[in-house]
Structure formats: C-alpha cells, structure tokens
Amino acid sequence: MNRLAVHQSLVHPLTPLETIDELVPTGWDSMGLHVGAVPETEAWWSGGAGTQLLAATIDRLLETRTTVLDVGRVVLSGHLGRDDVHRAHGRVLDFGARLGAQFLTARFAEGAGDLAQRTEGFAELAEQARPFRIRPLLSSVRADRPEALEEAVAVVAPSGGGVVLDVPVVGVDEESVSAAVTDLWEHLGYVRVDARALEAAGEAAAGQLAVLPPHVPVVIGGDDALGLLDSDRRARLARLRVLVDRMLEHPRAREARERASG
C-alpha cells in the first residue's frame, strides 16, 4: 500500500511534534519536513543535532509509528562543494538521516547552467547523500509536461537520483498521469498532489492515480504558500486522506466498494 504523507508547509506554523499529533488521528502515516531554504522553520533546527526538538521528534515518531518521508530542500546553483561541518546542504542530509527520511528534495536556482552542468551538480549531491542513505529527488515536474520529464530524467539518471512527479489534479487526466508514471518508472521518487486543487476537485479526481505502483509514496503538497490548512485543520486532513485514497482506487475496486455499500 502506498505510503501517504503531508508536507509540513501545509500545516505551518505547527511544529513537527504538533504535526504528528494532527496526522495520526486523521489517517496519515508520514510527513515531509523543511530543514533548509525556508526561513520560517530555521529556528527549529538552528541548534544543530543536539537540539531538543530533534530528540523529541524522533521519540514521537517512534511512539506513533509515523515516518518522515523526505526532508528539504537543497537549492542547486552550480558546483556543490562539500559541507562536512553541516552548515548548508550537509545539515539537511544530517537531519534527514537522523529522522529516518527516505528522500531529500532539491531544485535548481534560476540560471543554474545548461543540462550538463545541472547533471553534474545533481550528481555531486547524490554522491554526498549516499553515505546518509538518502536518495535525492528533483522537485517537482508536472505530469502534463512530457518534455520537462524527459529533461529531468536526463539530469538524475546518471547518478541514480529520482524525480518528484507533480499531479496538479485540475486539467490533467488519468491517461496523462499514467504516461508520466510509465516514462519516469525507476526514476519516480514520489507523487505530489496539490492539496488546494484536490479540495476543490473532490471526488472528480478519483482514479487519477489508479495505476501508481504500491511502493510509490503520495504526498499532499501545496504551491509554496505556507499554512494552507489554517482552519478546520483536522477535518480537512481527514477529508484529504479520503480523497487521496479515491485517487489511488482502481475502477474495479471502486465498483466493488459501491456494490457493497449499495
């Protein structure tokens, strides 16, 4: 069964501990955390590996059997020097490993160079992430942009990295999503679903992810606006959990469920 996660930015300004407490009763089993490149969360991690929040978060994760799917993010702008003292991207890797994250997300700054330079920069990140047992992902590429998907694969494939597939919900059909999943395949890290659009679409989005392999996680994300779920948070998280499940439901499973309930 696909692991289902909520990005921290959607429930900002909740701390990781408060986020876990919201996720558990609403059916979510994982979360994504900002460690770098987001000023609003920097105070949480400024104390380094010895911060009390880190220890408390790890304890709460273990107690609730919640996981951290990914940490982010690293902004790539060219050659990536080593960060052995963990002040920049090394800090994201260090915290990610301590929190048990599977992925680290990265994106390129504007004007980060040509394809060869971006491929080299991403490969440097992948090499430095390997000892932490974290897989870097390029974030994110829309499912209805085949040319962008092709370019993203060209960047990450040589180093064994992956891609975050962005499903915008509105304006994309099941066939487009299926084609994008097939095109990415072993390079697919996880699928990001736009929470704002999913709330608006409701049941109309059912089946969009019906062909997604069960090992690929699904993350509810946003448009970088912090705190989308700023009211009726728990009820909305529970509703989004149902809607994501409907997106993953195969038509035959839907028919069986409807027969059983009818």
What is the four-CA torsion angle of 9, 113, 184, 210, rounded to 10 degrees? 30
* Mean pLDDT to the nearest integer, 100-116: 91
The band of 259, judged by pLDDT with boundaries at 50, 70 and 90, is confident
Confirm if 72 and 8 have CB atoms less than 8 A apart. no
Question: Does 225 score more than 70 pLDDT?
Answer: no
Q: What is the mean pLDDT of the chain?
A: 91
Specify the pLDDT at position 85.
65
DSSP 109: P
Specify the pLDDT at position 83.
76
Specify the pLDDT at position 130.
96
Question: Does 8 score more than 70 pLDDT?
Answer: yes
Tens of pLDDT, residue by residue over 63-77, are 999 999 999 889 898
- Residue 249 has a CB neighbour count (10 Å cut-off) of 18
* DSSP annotation string for 142-200: ETT-HHHHHHHHHHHGGGT-EEEEEE-STT--HHHHHHHHHHHGGGEEEEEEEHHHHHH
Confirm if 26 and 52 have CB atoms less than 8 A apart. no
How big is the chain, counted in residues?
A: 262
Which runs of E-coded beta strand occur in the chain?
A: 4-7, 30-34, 67-76, 103-108, 135-142, 162-167, 188-194, 218-221
Q: Which two tokens stand for residue 50?
A: 């010895």
Helix (H) or strand (E) holding 21: helix 16-23
Specify the pLDDT at position 36.
75
Cα–Cα distance for residue pair 211/251, rounded to 1 Å: 10
Cα–Cα distance for residue pair 44/38, rounded to 1 Å: 11
Cβ within 8 Å of residue 218, ≥6 positions away? 2, 3, 4, 5, 190, 191, 192, 193, 209, 212, 244, 247, 248
- Please give the single-letter amino acid code of residue 173: D
The band of 224, judged by pLDDT with boundaries at 50, 70 and 90, is low
- Percent of the chain exceeding pLDDT 70 equals 97
Residue ranges and CATH numbers for the domains of the chain are 4-261 (3.20.20.150)
Question: Does 223 score more than 80 pLDDT?
Answer: no
Specify the pLDDT at position 46.
75
Identity of the highest mean pLDDT range in 66-80, 87-101, 187-201: 187-201
Question: Does 198 score more than 90 pLDDT?
Answer: yes
Q: Which two tokens stand for residue 224?
A: 């970088």
Specify the pLDDT at position 37.
64
Tokens 């870097």, residue located: 136
Specify the pLDDT at position 151.
95
What is the four-CA torsion angle of 76, 82, 83, 85, rounded to 10 degrees? 180
Tens of pLDDT, residue by residue over 26-63, are 999 999 998 876 777 777 887 777 789 999 999 999 99
Residue 22 to residues 66, 69, 224, Cα–Cα distance (Å): 11, 16, 20
Q: Which two tokens stand for residue 100?
A: 């048990």
Cα–Cα distance for residue pair 94/128, rounded to 1 Å: 11
Question: Does 21 score more than 90 pLDDT?
Answer: yes
* Mean pLDDT to the nearest integer, 187-192: 97
